[in-house]
Amino acid sequence: MSTQPWVEKYRPQLLKDVVGNEETVAKLQAVVNGGNMPNIILSGPPGTGKTTTMLCLARQLLGPLAKDAVMELNASDERGIAVVRDKIKMFAKKRVNLPAGQHKLVILDEADSMTAAAQQAMRRTMELFSSTTRFALACNTSNKITEPIQSRCAILRFTRLSDEQLLRRLQYVCKEEGVSYEPEGLEALIFTAEGDMRNALNNLQSTHSGFSVVNQDTVFKVCDQPHPHIARGILEACLEGRLDDALAGLRGLSESGYAPVDIVGTLFKVVKSHKMPEARQLEVIKEVGFCHTRIADGCASLVQLTGMVARLCQLAEEK
């Protein structure tokens, strides 16, 4: 059995194969058709295809020359000013025979991890070598890129993939790999992935390797998240004002070893998909959000979750 990660095995090779963000991919396809690429910033959540899209773009723009004319760096590892002065500048100076109108390409992943000094140095490098080199920067949040660099680039936004897009890709991979699955298992993978294709494929492969069959129980064992059925039971008890039942479910999750941040995170996802009047849903989301904020600030204890459950039950009684 192949040990290659499926996220690499099924990584798209051409722009037309990239899943989701159709409008952004169409803009990049227009760049390929025109042959003249600007400096670009790809901004969006992890696992939405930013790096894959840049590699596809380089492959289609430069073809077999991409091996010599493309440099890929991850700024999470190499984030200081020395990288810009040594590696990037030396690559920009390197002579590569390219067709007229084509440019060398520097792909910088996780660019928002670069230090301020490195970004200032890169700004000058982008200007000096604009006739021979283009830059493609991927980041989770574009506001961590300095404004002078943003003004030199076209900014393209990536959004999380929809459940339908994730489902189609998971079904395709299951068919290619002969994976035995239940529809509820794929739903669980989509629930835990939250629009992240990399997360969904990695969890699918881990579940298949560990349990052979992909169903709801095996997925949540691999992902090790609180089961949404239990979280939904806690929510429904709160909505009906049954405080003792809600607290019993909460204690059960806590005694199973789940951290408060995992419990409140799963509860938030359940609230978003739960059928209830919009005004009430907003109130519930607000209370869960307040609790999540306190836990993120360091007050990660069962007391915070208990207070949230009590407040939700109080809201139910006020209705």
User: Could you give phi then psi for residue 160, rounded to 5 degrees?
Assistant: -60, 150
CA–CA dist 294, 260 (Å, integer): 11
Burial degree of 298 (CB within 10 A; 0-12, 13-18, 19+) = exposed
Question: Could you read off the pLDDT of 292-318 as tens digits, one per residue?
Answer: 999 988 888 889 999 999 999 988 877
Which pLDDT does position 197 carry in this prediction? 93
Q: Which CATH class is domain 228-318?
A: mainly alpha
CA–CA dist 138, 142 (Å, integer): 9
Question: Could you read off the pLDDT of 164-188 as tens digits, one per residue?
Answer: 999 999 999 999 999 999 999 999 9
Whether the per-residue pLDDT at 78 is higher than 80: the answer is no
Which pLDDT does position 301 carry in this prediction? 84
Q: ∠ CA 87-90-94 to the nearest 5 degrees?
A: 135
Q: Where are the alpha helices (DSSP H) in the chain?
A: 6-9, 22-34, 50-62, 66-69, 81-83, 89-93, 116-128, 147-151, 163-177, 183-193, 197-211, 216-223, 228-239, 243-255, 260-273, 278-296, 302-318
Whether the per-residue pLDDT at 47 is higher than 80: the answer is yes
Whether the per-residue pLDDT at 261 is higher than 60: the answer is yes
User: 182 - beta bridge partners?
Assistant: none
Q: Where in the chain is the domain with CATH 3.40.50.300?
A: 6-157
Which pLDDT does position 77 carry in this prediction? 67
**CATH, domain range 163-223:** 1.10.8.60
- Mean pLDDT across the chain: 88
Assigned CATH topology for domain 6-157: Rossmann fold (3.40.50)
Q: Where in the chain is the domain with CATH 1.10.8.60?
A: 163-223
Question: Could you read off the pLDDT of 108-142 as tens digits, one per residue?
Answer: 888 888 888 888 888 888 888 888 889 999 998 88
Q: Where in the chain is the domain with CATH 1.20.272.10?
A: 228-318
